[in-house]
Amino acid sequence: MAYFRKHYHAPGTAPGTLVSAPESPLPLSIELLDYTGERVEELALRSAEDCKPFLDRASKTWIQVNGPVDPQTLRNLGELFDLHDLALEDVLNAGQRPKVDLYDDQMFITTALPVYHEGRLETTQISLFVGENYLIGFCPLATDPFEPIRKRMRQPNNRRFVTREIDYLLYALLDLIIDEGFPVLEQFGDELESLEAELLERPDQETLGAIHRLKRELLIMRRMLWPQREMINSLMRIEDHLVRPDTLVYLRDCHDHTVQIMELLESFRDMATGMLDIYLSSVSNRTNETMRVLTIIATIFIPLTFIVGVYGMNFGNPDNPWAMPELRWTYGYPMVWVLMIGVTAGLVWFFRRRHWL
Amino acid sequence: MAYFRKHYHAPGTAPGTLVSAPESPLPLSIELLDYTGERVEELALRSAEDCKPFLDRASKTWIQVNGPVDPQTLRNLGELFDLHDLALEDVLNAGQRPKVDLYDDQMFITTALPVYHEGRLETTQISLFVGENYLIGFCPLATDPFEPIRKRMRQPNNRRFVTREIDYLLYALLDLIIDEGFPVLEQFGDELESLEAELLERPDQETLGAIHRLKRELLIMRRMLWPQREMINSLMRIEDHLVRPDTLVYLRDCHDHTVQIMELLESFRDMATGMLDIYLSSVSNRTNETMRVLTIIATIFIPLTFIVGVYGMNFGNPDNPWAMPELRWTYGYPMVWVLMIGVTAGLVWFFRRRHWL
Amino acid sequence: MAYFRKHYHAPGTAPGTLVSAPESPLPLSIELLDYTGERVEELALRSAEDCKPFLDRASKTWIQVNGPVDPQTLRNLGELFDLHDLALEDVLNAGQRPKVDLYDDQMFITTALPVYHEGRLETTQISLFVGENYLIGFCPLATDPFEPIRKRMRQPNNRRFVTREIDYLLYALLDLIIDEGFPVLEQFGDELESLEAELLERPDQETLGAIHRLKRELLIMRRMLWPQREMINSLMRIEDHLVRPDTLVYLRDCHDHTVQIMELLESFRDMATGMLDIYLSSVSNRTNETMRVLTIIATIFIPLTFIVGVYGMNFGNPDNPWAMPELRWTYGYPMVWVLMIGVTAGLVWFFRRRHWL
Amino acid sequence: MAYFRKHYHAPGTAPGTLVSAPESPLPLSIELLDYTGERVEELALRSAEDCKPFLDRASKTWIQVNGPVDPQTLRNLGELFDLHDLALEDVLNAGQRPKVDLYDDQMFITTALPVYHEGRLETTQISLFVGENYLIGFCPLATDPFEPIRKRMRQPNNRRFVTREIDYLLYALLDLIIDEGFPVLEQFGDELESLEAELLERPDQETLGAIHRLKRELLIMRRMLWPQREMINSLMRIEDHLVRPDTLVYLRDCHDHTVQIMELLESFRDMATGMLDIYLSSVSNRTNETMRVLTIIATIFIPLTFIVGVYGMNFGNPDNPWAMPELRWTYGYPMVWVLMIGVTAGLVWFFRRRHWL
Amino acid sequence: MAYFRKHYHAPGTAPGTLVSAPESPLPLSIELLDYTGERVEELALRSAEDCKPFLDRASKTWIQVNGPVDPQTLRNLGELFDLHDLALEDVLNAGQRPKVDLYDDQMFITTALPVYHEGRLETTQISLFVGENYLIGFCPLATDPFEPIRKRMRQPNNRRFVTREIDYLLYALLDLIIDEGFPVLEQFGDELESLEAELLERPDQETLGAIHRLKRELLIMRRMLWPQREMINSLMRIEDHLVRPDTLVYLRDCHDHTVQIMELLESFRDMATGMLDIYLSSVSNRTNETMRVLTIIATIFIPLTFIVGVYGMNFGNPDNPWAMPELRWTYGYPMVWVLMIGVTAGLVWFFRRRHWL
């Protein structure tokens, strides 16, 4: 996972330049869903031009482009729906920060879909163009992340959805994207808990790496969420016919979710930072304990070794009364043991007083 | 205690979906209290429909639902009182952040009741719907947390309460919920004090765990309090007939309490963070002291052991004048002791100069 | 000194409940000072009712209640001056955060008087009611903290004070309370300096405790000062006849002092936090130095001890040419010394290169 | 790389004083590009006066001064275009913070071009004067950083650029300057990644230096970016005919890029700060491990050495039954080995229990 | 250098009380400079009254009081120019935070002049009263800090200065005061660089003290600069005839400098804080390295010493086949060496694998 994951053109490139992304093995699919309160029609398009027949109808049209879109398709869609060059450039240059740009009769929204897979957080840029009665979505993944929405729209007894205007569809998509944050956070929460348990029991270098990685992912997630909240906020404040008053209560709910996710995230970040301190303290603690064991052993045996060393000296000339007379005493050997046991007892008493034993 | 404690639906679920909470052994009780300035009437309802007769009366009605509410009861109440789908969803999905949502002729308030029991902080979501002359409260606990309010309303000489409008009841409930923060903080304060005493005396790995746990609970409490202050603030600024001007002075008092609790909490958090530093410093300090003892013992005895080792060498060939003549000197042995005592004295002087002894 | 020092009623208690503070041996005194531009009259009241005669006069009246006020006296004063229940409750429940509450024709102000005595910071809640021509002050201490003000008012040549309205008296009291912060900060500053000196010389576990205690007191002081600044700010912005325009310039001066005290406090907090880092670094430094001494001694003597150990082995069978022939060489013993001196020189050179010696 | 890199005059110098920069070996070049929708004319000027003929034309004129500009040239340009003294002073005194100053019919913009070369971040001050139909740029480098823009203007099929007003040229230059941040950040990202890998494997003193250097460069970059964002913001909010409404959408794109760069930078800073903690933890961890090895070895061998020391004592007088009878036992030697193996086994069991082995 | 350096009166002192500063050996000088567009007249006054003749002239008058001003002189000036009591008190009570107070037809400005001398930062309070056509400055230093301004005013060819109104003089003084921050910051920058070099090479306890001192001075400087920026900001926003529109562009330049100084300062503070972390890491690193050396030496020699100890045991009874038969083997001694070399090789291999050698 790289730190810098933004696609960008060489500085000085003309704005609106569309450069093909690196070759990708993923297929491109263009799904069209045309609906009114009465009917829902689904169609897989072969090229951008195929959506022309739907352009002038009064029905609402949702075009979802999944997979790596090529500049040509983008340019065609741009001409058909009069999309702004700068916006089209942003669709191709992945790694945008979530935002809403308001053009004359159109909104351009970029947002990020978080996915936690194989123990790693990944984010995918979703781009949405919203007009009076159409919504064009772009997602670089092979599978459509919005399948649950499609399912709800198809349900014959759920007319409430399809009778509403296109902004309700926009809400439904954004709501899904934001709510994908909950399972990710749940994963983070689980990881934090298992790290915490590890931390207070047996922390090692790997725990450190795991905390670092977690902090990094929380940081990435946070970098994505702050502008997302701002984006929902802008949508709610936009004084434009594209967002109707009766959708506002739903967007408010969306906003609540973003704020909730962000607050959880912030407290996770706080906990992860606190964990590093705990880790450091734990290691210091263990070093201290190791030191204590060493000190006890060394402090007891070093003086003893000195004592036995004394009587290992070869001064034992039996004719010299000054030369280690102890060696010649009858109880010399037992007395040395008494001395050594005394020294040990004194040291144990000393350690007890210091609460080391 | 899990880090992530929010109930949520799978992303893409339709808004307002009511899903039954996991089976709970707690009983469900619906208490109705109908009052005017003249009389207070209490009733235990069997089902949501039983409150119908009270709907059109001019009296004020307080319906309190305690225990795990089922989707059906919720839906019935929703129909009777025209409650919004999104709000009903929030009642079931525990772990909401405190907020106030304003609907046409109704307010929906969620808040959290903090309880400190068995040495752990727990928070319970309280949901309140407030209309012109009714208040519906939801609390997932088995016992009614609002019994003290009920008692005050029943008192025959306390007419001041029951003559006021429904917003005063709302204030009384919120005031109780907020004031529950004080005993919790008092507990935190006591814990901080005992941790502090432990810290400066004999900190160990358990102190570390306790500080970590405390920080975590302070974080949870804080995550709950910030939006609660905001919520009270919104209530005070709402330009709606549901909150009457003469209740504002009481809400201001409520607000003061929230701010006070929050400031205490923030300073507790500061102290807890500071404690980690103190812990780390304490451990370093102890390591240093352990090291000093080891160093003193080792530094004194290692040279001595070397000296006695020298005279333990088997060079003592009496015919070789170069082979350790000291062994054959009359005062050889005492001179070794003089040497060793001299070395020890020198080292003790060295340690004194370094303030190690 | 407890962390949690707020008096509060059990959650759910009716607002405005007055509960007597715990029995206190301090006496209660009620001092009345009635003044106009022409005369200053002082009176010690026996009960709250005694101030009745002054109520309808045009003169300005200052009633100062010192010591532990009982609920009855408070209730009497409340009735005489029409004081709000919630405000009276706040007078008794010590530990309020400084604030100004505006009632119809009255202001209620709580603030905190900091005192640094016996090496500890203590704060006392001062409550003030200000009306058109009266000011009622409450201070739980036995001695009147406002004696210097009284002195200034009594001075016959200082007519400027007594000719002004009651808001100037309010300013004088607040100014005194705020300025009491300066000697406290001076104490903090002195303590910081002595801690700093200690820190860079011989920090020990007690220095750590002292830094921690200082941080805690700075935190308490800060918790008091922030709302105090806000309070002065509100007073300056209040659009009410109670604060006259010509008093504003004096309140601005007050505000300047609060800001100055707060900025000093913040930088003291910064320095105290920095000191913990210095402490930690100092301890690490000392551990490192201790380690270096140990390592030098051990690294020099351990190899030497090994060498002498070699020649202490009992392989000296004179008939076996392979069994330690060195023992039988004429210059064996001096050569061992040469070897040992060589090893020592090598190690000293090694330590010099590492800048350890 | 110096910390303080601002050129300034001695305090008290008159505003607008132009002092020649230190002698520089770089050549000075003045490039003029005059354009209308129909034609693009390029010219290398010998002196400032040469641009006079273009002053009154309706065409748009871009004068780019590269290299170390001398006070005289600056003064000449100042007279020709009526540039403000304070602005001219800022052109010479490098190290300005990015800003936009609005004069009567002119804007003065300073900004900073970041370059990452030879592993070091360098920033160059770019100054721009923008009038109704002219733009004067200053860049102290020898090579023109705006060559890509020049190329785009020259392209015969890119009439869109040259038909636009001078504010579009301004946008193009600013866009290039801001986008130069992306390759720099990419470099930072790469460095962070390699540091991270190093950190979790084998951190040493050099890693520390590298993290420190990186943090310092991120700080420098940040000090440059904050005011740059502000500057773009001012440009967008300026109510002046110099910035036309149809350029706003491009400036918004510019602004988005600045915000994105800044957010990346902030998260890089966060990661770099976190890395220091990881470093510290890693080192502590390694110290702990080193200690463990030492403790294990010492704790096992010190008691063994003591035991063998005991039997090295010269108490072996065969006639004294108290003098080490073990030496005379037939199985004395094997029993010592059994004892030593037993002690070792016990210690190994002890270490196992402590998870040290 | 004391932490608390504010002069204050005992709490409760009447506002506007002027108390003489402690006796100072510095002389007091009052310099008057009267100027119009045509002439500049300079005069050294003996007392405050001497400036009376200039009061009613249309010319602009600058009175500069250098040295320790006595209360009487201050009171005289106060009466002559109608200066407010609170402002006069602030002139004497040094240690004010920079501010601008607006009185009826007068401004009172306090600011701080930073000086870095003998390796220490010192700040001096400068007080300025500005009226319609006079400016009175107070500086407690013996030498006039504004000599460069005086020089510029005296220059006969610099009529631009003296033809402007008094607010331009104010700007010139403020500009000088603010620009004095640049050389101070340059000093800080140099110190940071030398500390940084020291830090990565051989940090010791003195480096720690130096970092701490630097942080403290940066804190003092910052406490001075924040309100200074605010003060310039107020001056620019004041809607008063005392600041004329054509001076605003100069004040904006001043403001730019303050912001630039502050940003540099903040990044210096960041670097200084980072340095403490580096210091801690460096010390840990060195401790670790010391430990490694000790561990290598000890781990190699402790087992060897044990081995030689074994053969120092006195079990060598030649008649007992169980008593150390090795001693009697022909190749016993060489075999012991082989064993010891083998053990050493094994340990070296172990250390290599752990990258300790």
Using a CB-CB distance cutoff of 8 angstroms, which residues of chain D are in contact with residue E299? 293-294, 297
Which residue of E191, E291, E319 to mutate against D (max D Cβ within 10 Å)? E291
Answer yes or no: do E12 and C158 touch at CB < 8 A: no
The stretch A318-342 carries a mean pLDDT of 87
Residue E8 in this model has a pLDDT that exceeds 80: yes
Q: Write down the pLDDT at residue A1.
A: 53
Which amino acid is residue D107, in one-letter code?
M
Q: Write down the pLDDT at residue C169.
A: 95
Answer yes or no: do A308 and D303 touch at CB < 8 A: no
Q: Which distant-in-sequence residues (6+ apart) come within 8 Å of E269 by Cβ?
A: E215, E218, E219, E222
C271 → closest Cβ in E219, E227, E286: E219
Q: What confidence tens digit (pLDDT) does each residue in A158-177 have?
A: 788 999 999 999 999 999 99
Higher pLDDT, B47 or A323: B47
Which residue of D185, D297, D310, D356 to mutate against A (max A Cβ within 10 Å)? D310
Answer yes or no: do C193 and E3 touch at CB < 8 A: yes
Domains of chain A: 29-282 (3.30.460.20), 290-353 (1.20.58.340)
CA C166 – CA C163 distance, rounded (Å): 9
D270 → closest Cβ in A8, A219, A291: A219
C49: nearest Cα among C76, C88, C13, C82: C76
**Alpha carbons within 13 A on the beta-carbon side of C95:** 18
Q: How many CB atoms lie within 10 A of CB A143?
A: 11
CA C106 – CA C112 distance, rounded (Å): 20
Among the ranges given (A270-279, D249-258, E162-171), the one the predictor scored with the smallest mean pLDDT: A270-279
Using a CB-CB distance cutoff of 8 angstroms, which residues of chain D are in contact with residue A15? 175, 250, 253
How far, CA to CA in Å, does A19 sit from each of A15, A16, A22, A159, B325?
A: 11, 9, 9, 41, 93
Q: Write down the pLDDT at residue A342.
A: 95
Answer yes or no: do E3 and C192 touch at CB < 8 A: yes
The stretch E174-188 carries a mean pLDDT of 93
Q: Write down the pLDDT at residue B200.
A: 79
Alpha helices in chain C (DSSP H): 71-81, 85-92, 147-154, 159-163, 166-179, 181-201, 205-237, 245-310, 332-353
CA D166 – CA B7 distance, rounded (Å): 56
Order of strands, edge to edge, in the sheet holding A106-117? Answer: A40-45, A29-35, A60-66, A134-139, A120-130, A106-117, A99-103
Size of interface C-E (CB pairs under 8 A): 179
Which residue of A107, A294, A324, A331 to mutate against D (max D Cβ within 10 Å)? A294
Answer yes or no: do B196 and C212 touch at CB < 8 A: yes
Confidence band, pLDDT 50/70/90 cuts, at residue E326: confident
Residue C1 in this model has a pLDDT that exceeds 70: no
Query: How close does chain B come to C97, measured CA to CA in Å?
Result: 7
Size of interface B-C (CB pairs under 8 A): 179
| Average pLDDT of the residues of chain E | 89
- Phi, psi for E196 (deg, rounded to 5): -60, -45
SS3 state of residue D320: coil
Q: Write down the pLDDT at residue A329.
A: 85
The stretch C270-275 carries a mean pLDDT of 89
Residue A215 in this model has a pLDDT that exceeds 80: yes
E301 → closest Cβ in C149, C285, C303: C303
Q: Write down the pLDDT at residue B280.
A: 86
B15 → closest Cβ in A147, A253, A259: A253
B315 → closest Cβ in C215, C226, C332: C332
Q: What confidence tens digit (pLDDT) does each residue in C126-139 have?
A: 999 999 889 999 99
Q: What confidence tens digit (pLDDT) does each residue in C89-144 have?
A: 999 888 888 999 998 889 999 999 998 777 788 889 999 999 988 999 999 988 88
D176 → closest Cβ in A11, A208, A327: A11
E284 → closest Cβ in D96, D212, D284: D284
SS3 state of residue C17: coil
Tokens for B44, please give them. Answer: 């235990």
The stretch A78-102 carries a mean pLDDT of 91
Answer yes or no: do D15 and E305 touch at CB < 8 A: no
Answer yes or no: do D297 and E303 touch at CB < 8 A: yes
Answer yes or no: do E190 and D4 touch at CB < 8 A: yes
Instruction: Name the stretches of chain B with pLDDT < 70.
Output: 1-2, 21
Answer yes or no: do A274 and B279 touch at CB < 8 A: no
Q: Write down the pLDDT at residue D34.
A: 93
Using a CB-CB distance cutoff of 8 angstroms, which residues of chain C are in contact with residue E212? 196, 200, 274, 278
Q: What confidence tens digit (pLDDT) does each residue in E130-152 have?
A: 998 899 999 998 888 999 999 99
Answer yes or no: do D306 and A311 touch at CB < 8 A: no
Q: Write down the pLDDT at residue A327.
A: 84
Answer yes or no: do A2 and D200 touch at CB < 8 A: no
Using a CB-CB distance cutoff of 8 angstroms, which residues of chain D are in contact with residue E252? 101
Answer yes or no: do E294 and D297 touch at CB < 8 A: no
Q: Write down the pLDDT at residue A220.
A: 87
Order of strands, edge to edge, in the sheet holding D99-103? Answer: D40-45, D29-35, D60-66, D134-139, D120-130, D106-117, D99-103
* Nearest chain D alpha carbon to A95: D260
Q: Write down the pLDDT at residue B142.
A: 85
Q: Write down the pLDDT at residue D1.
A: 53
Answer yes or no: do C317 and E327 touch at CB < 8 A: yes
Cα three-residue angle A228-A231-A232, rounded to 5 degrees: 90
* Nearest chain C alpha carbon to B172: C12
Alpha helices in chain E (DSSP H): 52-55, 71-81, 85-92, 147-154, 159-163, 166-179, 181-201, 205-237, 245-310, 332-353
Cα three-residue angle E240-E244-E245, rounded to 5 degrees: 110
Residue E77 in this model has a pLDDT that exceeds 90: yes
pLDDT above 70 covers a percentage of chain D that reads: 99
SS3 state of residue A33: strand
Using a CB-CB distance cutoff of 8 angstroms, which residues of chain A are in contact with residue B6? 182, 185, 260, 264
Q: Write down the pLDDT at residue E1.
A: 53
- Four-CA torsion D185, D188, D190, D195, nearest 10 degrees: -160
Confidence band, pLDDT 50/70/90 cuts, at residue E205: confident
* Nearest chain A alpha carbon to D256: A97
Run of H or E including A64: strand A60-66
* Nearest chain B alpha carbon to A259: B97
pLDDT above 70 covers a percentage of chain E that reads: 99
SS3 state of residue A187: helix
CA C127 – CA C94 distance, rounded (Å): 10
Q: Write down the pLDDT at residue B1.
A: 53
Run of H or E including B305: helix B245-310
This complex has an ipTM of 0.83
Answer yes or no: do C175 and E96 touch at CB < 8 A: no
Confidence band, pLDDT 50/70/90 cuts, at residue A53: confident
